[in-house]
């Protein structure tokens, strides 16, 4: 897919602005234990990424294996048990966990440049009773969310995306470690 230069600049500007806002959401050092939202989590399940939604993902060398390995191995090195969804056991009260959800959106222009927004978030689903109606509802709880924008030549893009995912996974692992103290 060929994207006009003004549209590409607009997309890159919007994604860069979104990425610049994310660090402000990070936990500030010195906050109390009430902000340790990952405390007690002892398992992470890496969800599959939808790379087929954009042909540019394949054109730029991105594969599900690259994504899974970059996330799973990095989070495991932080000490958190991590499994792919296809191999994971259900969460229990003994094994509370979160789902690690990668998002990858890639554009490729006519000059063989690949631009990818990638993000990683940790969330879980919980059923609760709404006080106003006493109805039970399942809600998504977002524990952690970060992302970045990468732009590289097509030949080196897969390596850059793998490095970016490892950085996001390492940041998540570090947050998880801090919250366990």
Tens digit of each residue's pLDDT (9 = 90 or more) over 72-131: 999 999 999 998 888 877 776 666 789 999 999 999 877 789 999 999 999 988 888 888
Nearest 5°: phi and psi at 124?
-145, 170
Q: Tell me how many degrees the CA angle 93-98-102 measures, rounded to the nearest 5.
A: 165
Average pLDDT over residues 6-24: 53
Higher pLDDT, 22 or 156: 156
Please state, in angstroms and rounded to a whole number, the distance separating the CA atoms of residues 140 and 128.
Answer: 11
The pLDDT assigned to 9 comes to 59
| 168, 146 Cβ separation under 8 angstroms | yes
- Among 111, 102, 105, CA closest to 155: 111
- Which of helix, strand or coil describes residue 9? helix
The pLDDT assigned to 122 comes to 95
DSSP class of 36: -
């Amino acid at each position: 897919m060929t994207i006009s230069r003004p549209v590409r600049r607009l997309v890159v500007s919007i994604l860069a602005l979104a990425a610049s806002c994310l660090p402000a959401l990070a936990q500030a050092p010195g906050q109390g234990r009430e902000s340790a939202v990952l405390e007690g989590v002892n398992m992470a399940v890496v969800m599959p990424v939808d790379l087929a939604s954009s042909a540019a993902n394949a054109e730029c060398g991105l594969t599900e294996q690259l994504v899974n390995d970059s996330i799973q191995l990095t989070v495991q090195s932080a000490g958190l048990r991590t499994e792919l969804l296809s191999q994971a056991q259900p969460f229990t009260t003994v094994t509370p966990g979160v789902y690690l959800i990668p998002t990858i959106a890639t554009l490729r222009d006519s000059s063989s440049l690949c631009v990818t927004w990638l993000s990683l978030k940790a969330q879980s689903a919980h059923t609760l009773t709404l006080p106003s109606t006493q109805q039970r509802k399942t809600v998504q709880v977002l524990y952690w969310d970060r992302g970045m924008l990468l732009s590289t030549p097509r030949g080196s893009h897969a390596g850059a995306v793998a490095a970016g995912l490892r950085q996001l996974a390492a940041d998540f692992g570090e947050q998880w470690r801090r919250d366990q103290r």
